[in-house]
Amino acid sequence: MEPKKNPKSDVGRSSGLYFVIGLAVTMAVVYAAFEWKTYDEVNNYDISMNVDDALDEEVPMTEQIKTPPPPPPPAAPEVIEVVEDEEEVEETIIESTETSQDEEIIEVEDVEVEEEVEDVDVPFAVIEDVPIFPGCESESDKRACFQEMMQKHISKNFRYPEIAQEMGVQGRVSVMFTIQKDGSIGNVRMRGPDKNLEAEAARIIGKLPKMTPGKQRGRAVRVPFSIPITFKLQ
């Protein structure tokens, strides 16, 4: 025997209808949500002036441009004094520098111009009149006699320094000196391997006698001269 069922108590009888109604309501709500519009309240003021005074970053100040000072005012014009025509002005008379025929012309004697004497050094090899060593006055070849007498003077006054002998020092000392315009010896210079040898060479040259000065074009001049002195151990 089948159980009897009341058609009114059947729950699923109107389920399709309820589904359609719910779907329609849901779509209506969604549509209304999309179409819903809101408007902000409008105030009557200029929004362009609404600037926030608080700035986050510092704005550099513009450097003040220094303008040049104005030019000084022009100087006041000088006051010009007006001279009346009645005032007498002294006239300046310019005398002529031209001579007349009546004036006597004085003749001026020729002025002698003294020749400037140049203080120069003339080497021994090229000088016209070589210095005369004492004892060579009567010799015809005074240049050769001068050199011969120099060698004799060195040999006569030569003395080997003892300290140089003990140290075994030897060599050549180049001696340069100048025969002055009065015949004396000056400006003595030495260059050698040892100070003791140089000192001995200076002593020998210091013993040279006074000479007759050398001449160039008839005038006494300074004459540089150089000679080597050799120090050699036996």
Q: pLDDT per residue over 141-157, tens digit each? A: 999 999 999 999 999 99
Contacts of 202 (CB under 8 A, 6+ apart): 175, 188, 190
In the predicted structure, residue 136 carries a pLDDT above the cut 60: yes
Task: Give pLDDT tens digits for 47-63.
Answer: 444 445 444 455 455 45
| 219-222 contact pairs (CB < 8 A, 24+) | 219/117, 220/181, 220/182, 221/120, 221/121, 221/122, 221/127, 221/181, 222/119, 222/120, 222/121, 222/122, 222/178, 222/179, 222/180, 222/181
Give the count of alpha carbons within 13 A of 165, CB side only: 7
Tell me the C-alpha distance between 111 and 122, whole Å.
31
Taking alpha carbons only, the member of 129, 125, 121, 117 closest to residue 213 is 129
Residue 5 has pLDDT above 80, yes or no: no
Higher pLDDT residue, 226 or 35? 226
Close Cβ partners of 184 (under 8 Å, ≥ 6 residues apart): 210
Contacts of 15 (CB under 8 A, 6+ apart): none
Mean pLDDT for the stretch of residues 190-215:
93
**CATH number for the domain running over 142-231:** 3.30.1150.10
pTM greater than 0.85 (yes/no) = no
